[in-house]
Amino acid sequence: MPPDTTTRPPGIDTLAPITPDTSRPQVHREHTIPDSIRWQRMPKTSEISKTSPPGNPNPFFIAAANKILPAVVTIENERLVGGVPDDETHRFFREKQGKENEQIPRPGYGSGIIISPDGFILTNEHVVENATKLKVILYDKREFPAEFIGGDPNTDIALLKIETSDLPSAFMGNSDSVKIGEWVMAVGSPLNFTSTITAGIVSALGRDIRIIRER
């Protein structure tokens, strides 16, 4: 048997487990957790999967996006605006250069949706308001000059027409059937970022959001 080479502190020959002193009365305290901070039972993985969003992409959103994207267009408009401020310094140079009433074209962008295969496009009236030139860019990158058919500033709706045929078109639904809490998708070209999609839910109906102008 090999010699014991364990180094012990001076004056201690052996180490023994410490046992409680049973000669004195023992006090037993039961630790409890208040109801207000007590942990709840953790749900099983199968229970979480029933209430949590799925990890995979939603197939309904994917199908809806693939169906509607070809019918969404980008609208490029051009408006004439004042070229320089009307102060004394700029007025002097405009008079010298013969450009007293010069206006410059300014481009802008908006979104529209094809509502018939023969080229009728629905958009917002503010997108085409006072435009001197309109161009429609399709999902497949083809470009067409657009004709302004008519618009209603009070409801912010306008109708355009491009000369082509066999276009993919969107199905027009009934807004009266929309319910609070339903999932919805928005597709468009904000700031010329074409074919942009976002999703959310209908949060309210019949709200006055102050976009309808007063006559």
Rounded to whole angstroms, what are the CA distances from 126 to 145, 154, 157, 159?
A: 18, 10, 8, 12
- For residue 97, what pLDDT band results from cuts at 50, 70 and 90? low
Q: Which residue did the predictor score with more confidence, 124 or 36?
A: 124
pLDDT in tens, 129-168: 999 999 999 999 999 999 999 999 888 999 999 999 999 9
Amino acid at site 149: I
**What's the mean pLDDT when you consider all of the chain?**
76
Cβ atoms of residues 159 and 121 within 8 Å: yes
Three-class secondary structure of residue 63 per DSSP = helix
What token pair was written down for 64?
């809806």
Residues in the chain: 215
Rounded CA-CA distance 118/8 in Å is 99
Stretch 37-53: mean pLDDT, rounded? 46
Confidence (pTM): 0.63
DSSP labels for 190-210?
GGG--SEEEEEE---SS---S
Q: Which of 128, 143, 154 is nearest to 213 (CA)?
A: 154
Domains for the chain: give ranges and CATH numbers.
62-84+101-201 (2.40.10.120)
CA 197 to centroid of chain Cα atoms? 7
pLDDT band at residue 124, thresholds of 50, 70 and 90? very high
- Rounded to whole angstroms, the Cα distance separating 134 from 79 reads 9
Q: What is the rounded average pLDDT of the residues 64-84?
A: 88
Residue 173 to residue 94: CA distance in whole angstroms: 53
